[in-house]
Amino acid sequence: MTDQYAVIGNPISHSKSPRIHAAFASQTGQKLHYDKLLVEPGCLAEAIADFRQQGGKGLNITVPFKNDAFELADSLTERARLAGAVNTLVLNEDGTLHADNTDGIGMVRDLTANHHFNLKGKRILLLGAGGAVQGVLLPLLQQQPAEIVIANRTVAKAEVLCEKFSAYGNLSASSFEALNGKTFDGIINGTAASLQGEVPPLPDNILNKGAWCYDMMYSSEPTAFVRWGEQQGASQSVDGLGMLVEQAAESFSLWRGVQPDTNPVIKLLRAD
């Protein structure tokens, strides 16, 4: 029987993951089937058990189940533990669930390998303090930036993240207003503002010469934040389509022990 994989979420019809994993499988010669599963809130454990019965070997987990999956895990990677959320499950033969979060490493790969942005020793501004930001903080800090400032509408949430990750690097919390007069080498948008076509209220002249902007969201049209970066004179202002493909590649390699080539798959999705 072909090994079964799937992504679980709600909604799920829009998910590009089946396409990405099918492309990885054909490129690497791996025999597998990857589906998408719509699951009702509160029914994740049941859905995983059913999937296991049907020969399921691994799952991706997306909104709104990343925290539920974290709770169900029998073992967690350190990055998943600190993220407090998981996007990848390995359904072990002995019935246990191993969990990882590949979002952060996926974003770091997109930033460094695909876009050639340097993080080491740089001043980075991270916008937002929700699950998306918590999910990427450890891999980002492991790149050893000089400083990461987390700016959020609700500053208390940024402060909680700073406390939680203080042992891993130089972090501070800020309101958007208090950014006035500060400058950065790179800005990463992890707020949900882009979904509403909005940009957090950032002061002008916040970008150092050569600074880049990165939106964790992606869209067929440039996002509001990508456009903001262009208007502010960023050296490059890009969306997070590559992050989607890179986090998938990391899951694929965890399941199959083979690292796929992401560039042709990013090109394939960009052409849609």
Active site residues: 66
Look at residues 149, 140, 61 and name the one whose alpha carbon lies nearest to residue 104.
Answer: 140
17's enclosing H/E stretch is: helix 17-28
Please, are residues 184 and 207 in contact by the beta-carbon 8 Å criterion? yes
Which range, of 96-104, 129-137, 203-211, 234-242, touches ligand ATR by CB under 6 A? 129-137
18 near ligand ATR (CB under 6 A): no
Closest CB 80 distance from ligand ATR, rounded Å: 15
Task: Pick the closer one to ligand ATR by CB: 23 or 217.
Answer: 217
Contact pick of 23, 126, 132, 213 for ligand ATR (by CB under 6 A): 132
Closest CB 240 distance from ligand ATR, rounded Å: 12
13 near ligand ATR (CB under 6 A): no
d(CA 129, CA 189): 10
Q: Which residues contact 255 (CB under 8 A, 6 or more apart)?
A: 5, 57, 58, 90
d(CA 121, CA 99): 31
Closest CB 119 distance from ligand ATR, rounded Å: 21
206 near ligand ATR (CB under 6 A): no
Closest CB 135 distance from ligand ATR, rounded Å: 8
Q: What's the DSSP call for residue 11?
A: S
200 near ligand ATR (CB under 6 A): yes
130 near ligand ATR (CB under 6 A): yes
In three-state form (DSSP H/G/I as H, E/B as E, the rest C), the secondary structure along 85-148 is: CCCEEEECCCCCEEEECCHHHHHHHHHHHHCCCCCCCCEEEEECCCHHHHHHHHHHHCCCCCEE
CA end-to-end distance (rounded Å), the chain? 32
Task: Pick the closer one to ligand ATR by CB: 89 or 193.
Answer: 193
d(CA 176, CA 198): 14
Closest CB 70 distance from ligand ATR, rounded Å: 13
Please, are residues 206 and 227 in contact by the beta-carbon 8 Å criterion? no
Contact pick of 46, 177, 198, 230 for ligand ATR (by CB under 6 A): 198
Closest CB 131 distance from ligand ATR, rounded Å: 3
- 186 forms beta bridges with 124, 212
152 near ligand ATR (CB under 6 A): yes
153 near ligand ATR (CB under 6 A): yes
86 near ligand ATR (CB under 6 A): no
Q: Which tokens hold the place of 134?
A: 């918590």
192 near ligand ATR (CB under 6 A): yes
131 near ligand ATR (CB under 6 A): yes
Q: How many residues bind ligand ATR (CB under 6 A)?
A: 15
In the bound complex, which residue of the shown chain has the CB atom lying closest to ligand ATR? 130
Task: Report, in angstroms and rounded to the nearest whole number, the Rg of the chain calculated over CA atoms.
Answer: 19
Enumerate binding residues for ligand ATR (CB under 6 A).
128-132, 152-154, 157, 191-193, 196, 198, 200
